[in-house]
Amino acid sequence: MKIDEFKKLHSIIGNCREINDLVETIMHIAPSETSVLIYGETGTGKEVFANAIHGASRRSKQRLISVNCGAIPEGLLESELFGHKRGSFTGASDNRKGYFELADGGTLFLDEIGEMPITTQVKFLRAIELKEFMPVGAETVTKVDVRYIAATNKSLQEEVINKRFRQDLFFRLKAVTLFLPPLRDRREDIGELADFFLEQAALKNNYAKFQLTPEAHGILLDHDWPGNVRELKSVIETAATLSRTSIIGAADLNPIIHPNGYSSASKYSLVPTRKTPEELDREMMLRALFEIKKDILDLKDLVENNHPVKESIRVQEIKRIDELEKEAIINALERTNGNKRSVARLLGLSERTLYRKIKEYDIPL
Ligand X SMILES: Nc1ncnc2c1ncn2[C@@H]1O[C@H](COP(=O)(O)OP(=O)(O)OP(=O)(O)O)[C@@H](O)[C@H]1O
The residue ranges that bind Mg ion (CB under 5 A) are 46-47
Q: Which stretch binds ligand X (CB under 6 A): 44-52, 92-100, 253-261, 288-296?
A: 44-52
Any idea what DSSP says for residue 262?
Answer: B
CA separation for the pair 360, 365 (Å, rounded): 13
| Distances 211 to 125, 194, 232, 247, 341 between C-alpha atoms, Å | 50, 10, 15, 5, 32
CA separation for the pair 179, 46 (Å, rounded): 9
> Of residues 44, 57, 66, 342, which one binds ligand X by CB under 6 A?
44
Per-residue binder mask for ligand X (CB under 6 A), 77-116, x = binder? ----------------------------------x-----
CB of 247 to ligand X, least distance (A): 23
Site for ligand X in 241-300 (CB under 6 A): none
Considering the complex, state which of residue 54 and residue 230 has its C-beta at the smaller distance from ligand X: 230
Q: Which stretch binds ligand X (CB under 6 A): 166-174, 212-220, 229-237, 301-309?
A: 229-237
From the list Mg ion, ligand X, none, partner contacted by residue 48 (C-beta under 5 to 8 A by kind): ligand X
**Which class for 343: exposed (0-12), middle (13-18), buried (19 or more C-beta within 10 A)?**
buried
From the list ligand X, Mg ion, none, partner contacted by residue 136 (C-beta under 5 to 8 A by kind): none
Q: According to the binding rule CB under 6 A, does residue 177 interact with ligand X?
A: no
Q: Are strands 142-143 and 132-133 parallel, antiparallel or unpaired?
A: antiparallel
Q: Which stretch binds ligand X (CB under 6 A): 42-50, 201-209, 277-285, 323-331?
A: 42-50
State whether residue 337 is helix, strand or coil. Answer: coil
Binding site residues, ligand X, CB under 6 A: 11-14, 40, 42-48, 111, 153, 229-230, 233
